[in-house]
Structure 1
Amino acid sequence: MAFDFSTLNKQYIDGTWRDGRSGKVYVDQNPYDETTVAEFQMASIEDVDLACQAAQRAQKEWAKVNPFEKRELFERAVQIIDDNTESIARVIADEIGGTFVKAMIEIMLVKNTLKEAATYPMRMDGRIIPASIPGKENRLYRLPVGVVAVLSPFNFPFCLSMRAVAPALACGNGVVLKPNEASAITGGTMIAKIFEEAGLPKGLLNVIVTEIGQIGDSFIEHPIPKVISFTGSTPVGRHIGEVASRNLKRVGLELGGNSALVVLEDADIDQAVNASVFSRFAHQGQICMCTNRVIVHREVYDIFVEKLVDKVASLKCGDPREQDTVIGPLINHRQVELLQKVVDESIAQGAKLAYRGPVEGNVVGPIVLTDVSEEMTCARQEMFGPAIAIIPVDSEDEAIRVANNSDFGLSGAVHTSNLERGVEIAKRIESGMVHVNDGTVNDEPLVAFGGEKASGVGRYNGEWALEEFTTVKWISVQHEKREYPF
């Protein structure tokens, strides 16, 4: 199977490729050269309903499929990705401006997700629990929830769509996926094609491509999906959570971040610099876990800044299709403008500009802001782009306080030569994930992934994804006649 843009610009509903019914066209553009990648006839509210109904019908049969057969399907999906790595990397570059390194990381993460999901059909086990009533047997069964609705973002769409889609399917559910329209192929129709080629039953996975203006809240209000999985901004996540709660739906929300990387006075400075640069400038800083703030002990502040600026200045910017490019384009002009606004505001507030690369189209050269205080805009807001804020502190306690002075709590990191000191500091940082002597950008298929505070609720990966996409049902069996009080 070879991926061809011309075959992936349709809705995928009930196992068929078709145009949407909204009457509106979405033009999917390459963010680097602004050429047209594909055009989609966008989906309507009617398409949403058809997709949900198809998933519900197909799920009833899918739940009966032998778990060994389900496992083999996910193994075939991994092989399809292996056979098409080059084509997938090209799609990631052309549609969302992902560099070669970014594409390889994303493809690796997707394969790991699928391999872990392949184990879930074998883990839909139950328990027998003692009963207080004579002659009773209490059984607990782990069952699919039915249909899962998935909304994914534009930044890591192949990975972040698959992170919910694969576990949900593997647990026996039907799925309706709405990717961000800017990543409709990478985060949506390409995934449908992979599963179609792998032999997934028709109707079980549906992909709708549209703008919220065409469907409103119909996707999250629809009565069929029982779980809503959303990855994206905190304001949108809050809205989805509110609407879902009114409709008594479960939600998994992986939202924004403002990750802090702490560099203590005894840190390996070169290692801390490398971790900071990778964790900030991977995929142009368009990753929710990206290091937004580097909090550096004043004893090593100057040398850290000097080494970081030297490394940042060496990063190649430009065409993501060239394999040595590190910083490609932001997704659109709006994101470029938003980033520059935050940077300019922070400079006006007293931040110093240690380095600023040129801006060419949607490609923004790296930006390093120093002498940042915790109340500046760049320290308060998530900068979804290649800009980093460096904050000096005088002590370990101050570093922890500054790290926690944020509404967000997704990821974090601590650099120190004393590993147990690092662990104790990590425990005090209010974040769902903290890494000692590493960067803030990490994802493992077996480890709980998720944030605290405004960074979301719920956890993905491993046994935690199994919990998110299943329900537990109590069935009791009364083996002996029971005596009732009346």
Structure 2
Amino acid sequence: MKNLDHWIGGLAVAPGSGTYFDDLNPVDDSVYARVAAGTAADVDHAVETADKAFRQHRDLPAAVREGWMVKAAEIMERDAALFSEVLIDEIGSPAAKAGFETRFALSFLRAAAGVPRRVRGETIPSDTPGRFSMSLRQPVGVVAGITPFNVPLIKGIKQSAMALATGNAFVLLPSEAAPKVADLLAALWREAGVPDGLFNIVYGNGAEIGDALTGHPKVASITFTGSSRVGKHIAGIAARNLKKYTLELGGKSPLIVCADADLEKAVGAALFSIFMYQGQVCMGASRIYVERPIFDAFAKAFAAATAKAKGGDLREPTTMLGPIISERQRDRVRRHIDDARTKGAAVLAGAEWNGNSCSATVLSGVTPEMTVFAEETFGPVTSLYPFDSLDEAIDLANDTEYGLSASIFTRDIDKALRFAQQAEAGMVHINAPTLHDEPHVPFGGTKASGFGREGTEADLEIMTEWKWVTVQTATAGHGGH
């Protein structure tokens, strides 16, 4: 099996330690690839290389960077099947999810093509006569990106495309569970014409080398997607070193179903919101609140639909559920379900295992002393709760440390807009799933779900730095004569 080496300065670079780790296919835990185990020295090499490349290429015209995005989109469209295949085999994506992720990455590249020409400042009236005043947006330098296993292509494209489109250099530390996806990105950007050194990858264990990357003195900005615990740690490093950063973290997203909702649509949306990619999605609706008059009807319909959620062959288009990514995460899912059962929760559907896959699971009667009540499971598990009024639903939805996404199903626009205003979440969807993203929107959460926002507009805040420039003209002090 060919080893997967770091990508630094346009070259495959063996790890300084000489050691490699196994990248496993989660279907059966067979070895999918052997991957370089990075060290702090490898990180330093990548950042120094990126910094040098940035200084060499920082003044490239916007049209050149626009060209990279356009070409990358063409390559992504051409190689969509290859990207999907790797997503299926490396991280256990069902074909439908792999196709969605590839299409989103392509869409993001097309949206990013417009970014280089939008890196604009403005002219500003000055209080000093004869002084011309203006602001400029300039690239920050080296951007560090850390991506998760669950949507490695979406996040890898989001982070790297925005860094490159705004004139920066980029160093990627991908999840240990998704290195091959990152390797495909290196090939994509090189073919798209990005100069060597502007896009770099260091593989390895984030717990061991993440601090070397985020704390490196030549890293100016950090964009991270992962757990809230690690996000808080990175925020501390960024604060101590006065770095810009964006964090997209965990969630415990609520989905509200009012008595006047379209029941069939609400059931379908709930199914997608929590069981897409076997629940390994930060926006997953792991808390579903249903107004009491329709609680029993919804529970029955949702449990029946859940029981039909298909597992099995990942390449079959109708497969929704695949394997849980690792044994550590499987243990977490089992622990949450078993704890709830032991403490009296009812299992309305699922809670069965087939190899490394857990069936879609619906719980009822979940109480605060159960682990699943407040903690993010990150698996195909959701809980149903009744409510009696919209005020109660809003209070229940907000009773969490997280605040990523929220959804409400109702035909009453007043109720919908009131919920949208009062929900403590970065994103609220009305009569739609909790799970949704688009390239140009301000994507992100509040509270323990994140800091800052992602997107072709929002990312300008961490990818560029404002500079104020004034010019004192010769007519100053002459009163215009």
Category of TM-score, reference length = shorter chain: over 0.9
Q: Deviations over 1:446-485 (max 9, x none)?
A: 21101000101001113111222111100111114768xx
Cα deviation, residue 58, structure 1: 1.3
How far apart, CA to CA, are the structure 1 residues paired with 2:57 and 2:409? 47
How many angstroms does 1:362 deviate by? 1.4
Partners of 2:132 and 2:471 within 8 A in 1? yes
1:20 aligns with 15
1:160-198 per-residue CA deviation (whole Å, 9 max, x = no partner) reads 121111111100000000001111112x21111111111
Match of 1:224 among 194, 213, 218: 218
Question: Which of residues 68, 73, 77 in structure 2 aligns to 1:73?
Answer: 68
Counterpart for residue 265 of structure 1: 259
Tell me what 2:129 maps to: 134
Q: Indicate the SS of the match to 1:70.
A: helix
Structure 2 residue matching 1:450: 3-state secondary structure: coil
In the other structure, the counterpart of 1:106 is: 101
Task: Report what 1:401 is aligned to.
Answer: 395
Q: Which sits farther off after the overlay, 23-32 or 63-72?
A: 63-72
Which amino acid counterpart does residue 221 of structure 2 have in structure 1? V
- Please give the secondary structure, in 2, of the residue aligned with 1:182: coil
8 Å contact from structure 2 (residues 92, 322) kept in 1: yes
**Structure 1, gaps ≥5 residues long:** none
Structure 2 residue corresponding to 1:447, chosen from 429, 441, 449: 441
Report what 2:167 is aligned to.
172
User: How many angstroms does 1:14 deviate by?
Assistant: 0.7
C-alpha distance in 2 between matches for 1:296 and 1:6: 52
**1:202-221 matches, cutoff 5 A:** 202-212=196-206, 214-215=208-209, 217-221=211-215
1:377 corresponds in structure 2 to: 371
Letter paired with 1:416: T
Q: Give matches, 1:72-471, under 5 Å.
A: 72-186=67-181, 188-212=182-206, 214-215=208-209, 217-373=211-367, 376-471=370-465
The residue identity in structure 2 corresponding to 1:142 is R
Q: Partner amino acid for 1:210?
A: G
Q: Secondary structure at the match of 1:217?
A: helix
**Poorly superposed stretches of 4+, deviation over 6 Å:** none
**Residues 389-436 of structure 1: per-residue CA shift (max 9 Å, x gap):** 111111111111000000000001000012342122111110000000
Matching residue's letter, 1:251: Y
User: Which amino acid counterpart does residue 58 of structure 2 have in structure 1?
Assistant: A
1:159/1:216 Cα in 2 relative to 1: closer, same or farther (>3 Å)? Answer: closer
**More displaced stretch, 231-240 vs 189-198:** 189-198
- Deviation of 1:21 after TM superposition, in Å, equals 1.1
Contact 1:416–1:422, Cα closer than 8 Å, also in 2: yes
Tell me how far apart the structure 1 counterparts of residues 387 and 365 of structure 2 sit (CA, whole Å). Answer: 10
Deviates more, 1:365-374 or 1:322-331: 365-374
| Amino acid in the other structure paired with 1:409 | G
Q: Report which stretch shifted further, 193-202 or 418-427.
A: 418-427
Does structure 2 retain, via aligned residues, the 8 Å contact 1:371–1:392?
no
Q: State the one-letter code of the partner of 2:216.
A: H
User: Counterpart of 1:475?
Assistant: 469
Paired amino acid for 1:367: T
Q: In structure 1, what is the equivalent of residue 29 of structure 2?
A: 34
**Paired residues of 1:372 and 1:392 also in contact (CA < 8 A):** no
Deviations 1:251-310 (A, max 9, x none): 100111000000011111110100000010000100101111001101110010111111
Shift of 1:374: 5.2
3-state SS, counterpart of residue 476 of structure 1: strand
Preserved contact between residue 175 and residue 206 of structure 2 (Cα < 8 Å): no
Tell me whether 58-67 or 148-157 shows the greater mean CA deviation: 58-67
Q: Is the 8 A contact 1:450 1:456 kept in 2?
A: yes
Alpha-carbon distance, 1:213 to partner? 5.1
Contact 1:411 1:434 survives alignment (8 Å): yes
Cα deviation code 1:139-175 (max 9, x no counterpart):
1001111110001111111101211111111000000
Residues 173, 206 of structure 2: 8 Å contact kept: no
Determine the C-alpha separation between the residues in 1 that align with 2:340 and 2:400.
Answer: 16
Deviation at 1:321, TM superposition (A): 2.8
* Alignment gaps of 5+ in structure 2: none
Q: Distance in 2 between matches of 1:184 and 1:92?
A: 11
Deviates more, 1:422-431 or 1:93-102: 422-431
1:55–1:25 Cα change, 3 Å: same
Deviations 1:201-233 (A, max 9, x none): 000000010113542621111011111111000
Q: How many residues align?
A: 477
Tell me the TM-score normalized by structure 2. Answer: 0.96
Cα distance, 1:214–1:234 mapped onto 2, change above 3 Å: closer
Q: Secondary structure at the match of 2:177?
A: helix
Identity of aligned residues (%): 38
Contact 1:419/1:436 (<8 A) preserved: no
- Per-residue deviation at 1:59? 1.4
Q: Whole-Å Cα distance in 2 between the matches of residues 168 and 207 of structure 1?
A: 14
CA distance in 1, matches of 2:38, 2:405: 35
- Using the TM superposition, give the Cα deviation of residue 323 of structure 1 relative to its aligned residue in structure 2, in angstroms: 2.9
Q: Contact 1:19–1:42 at 8 Å: present in 2 too?
A: no
